[in-house]
Amino acid sequence: MRICLLKTVSNTIRKQCYSTRNVRKVTHCIFDMDGLLLDTEQVYKKMITQLCAKYGHEYTDELMMKVLGGTEQRLSEILCKDLNLPVSPKEFRDQLLELGDTMLAGSPLLDGAERLIRHLHKTQVPFALATSSSERSVKTKIASYKDLFSHFHHMVMGSTDKEVKFGKPHPDIFLVAAARFPDKPKPEKCLVFEDSPHGVTAGVSAGMQVVMVPDPHLDKRLTSHATIVLPSLAKFQPEIFGLPPF
């Protein structure tokens, strides 16, 4: 079976098709948050750019790809080391969190996110959140959507969860998220939703299928390891993975 989507590129409508031949049925879903459910990636870019500029450095696209999807600790360690910043990773992270308290508040939901979450809740499909963010950042970001995010069975916050030993691209966060469902589904029964290459690698390494919704400017070669790639969550067809259709 193949699914085909119409996508507008440079004012030209193009047809993109994906094979579903090797797709397996799932029972549980696990979502990333930043850049997938909430439009926060550009805000993070502004925050980090601002902090790097404070110390006379540029936050390049190369650096951004290096830290994308990782924990706050790992991001801070990489930037402090690569840019030789005159602060410790902890100090850098503290400054990042402080900026986030105001800049991340009220971040808008991305296309298709609310519809999918409410659909899974209505049809009683168990789903969880697996984000690299800290509990502090998550509280700020979801404050405007408390009702919507209350539908998640649980949330794993990689930057502050002691059971997550290693952040993405390691599989820890998704394995922890799966283990916290009451029925403890096997990895192959879990479907991960991600936007970053590191996140997809983590999901695949955990033995799970991954629906990727990448930034439209991302190099297509960095999306090849996902099960399927979609332009937005609004294009997701649950029945392909054995889930109740819309």
Q: What's residue 19's pLDDT?
A: 58
Q: What is the pLDDT of residue 16?
A: 54
**Domain spans of the chain?**
18-39+109-241, 40-104
Q: Tokens for 159?
A: 């930057």
Sequence-ordered list of residues with C-beta below 8 angstroms from that of 208, at least 6 positions apart, any chain: 30, 174, 178, 187, 188, 190, 191, 192
Residue 10 confidence (pLDDT): 47
Residue 65: predicted pLDDT: 87
- Beta-carbon contacts of 185 under 8 Å, excluding residues fewer than 6 positions away, are 27, 28, 126, 178
For residue 100, what are its two tokens?
């986030």
Query: For residue range 81-136, what is the model confidence (pLDDT) as tens digits?
Result: 999 999 999 999 999 999 999 999 999 999 999 999 999 999 999 999 999 999 99
The pLDDT value recorded for residue 48 is: 95
Query: Is-catalytic flag, 219?
Result: no
Which CATH number describes the domain made up of 18-39+109-241? 3.40.50.1000
pTM for this structure?
Answer: 0.87
pLDDT of residue 3: 61
Tens place of pLDDT per residue across the chain (246 aa): 556 655 544 454 455 555 566 899 999 999 999 999 999 988 999 999 999 999 999 999 899 988 887 889 999 999 999 999 999 999 999 999 999 999 999 999 999 999 999 999 999 999 999 999 999 999 999 999 999 999 999 999 999 999 999 999 999 999 999 999 999 999 999 999 999 999 999 999 999 999 999 999 889 999 999 999 999 999 999 999 999 999
| Helices and strands counted in the chain (H then E) | 9, 8
Do 80 and 95 contact (CB within 8 A), yes or no? no
3-state secondary structure of 41: helix
The class level of CATH for 40-104 reads mainly alpha
32 is catalytic: yes
